[in-house]
Amino acid sequence: MTAVSPALVLAVALGGGLGASARFVVDGLVRTRWSGVLPLATVLINVTGSLAIGLLGGAAAFHGLGPTWLVVSTTGFCGGYTTFSTAMVETVRLVQADEWRWAVLNAFGSLMLCVAAAAAGMGVMWVTGT
């Protein structure tokens, strides 16, 4: 466990700000190109963030990424980048718009894709670390 120092808190906060900024940019880029019912920007952000968390977790487990970098990159950057709460709000909005099929696809599809992406990231790092 990494000791919580003021520098670590600042680094996690900075990482979170950078992650949130990256989410803002990606969301804007996707929304200018996608006008469908499914909130594709949020799905893409959460899946790529989950992949990054898997890669980083694998880097820590199999390649010696230190605990400080793991906390800053996963809790900080990836925590600011990914957005489970937005995914659920968008699911509720789909239900309110009577788009039940899209709501179910968004909720369960996002969950499955995110878990698969995190597992894939860990798998890639495991394969490259052996």
Mean pLDDT for all residues in the chain: 96
Round to whole Å and give the CA distance between 96 and 128. Answer: 45
| pLDDT confidence of residue 3 | 74
Looking at the predicted structure, is the pLDDT value of residue 1 above 90?
no
Top-confidence residue, 64 or 3: 64
pTM: 0.93
Looking at the predicted structure, is the pLDDT value of residue 66 above 70?
yes
DSSP secondary structure code for residue 76 in this structure:
I
Nearest to 43 by CA among 103, 95, 99: 103
Instruction: Please report which confidence band the pLDDT of residue 90 belongs to, taking 50, 70 and 90 as the band edges.
Output: very high
* Residue 123 CB-half CA count within 13 A: 8
Domains of the chain by residue range: 38-129
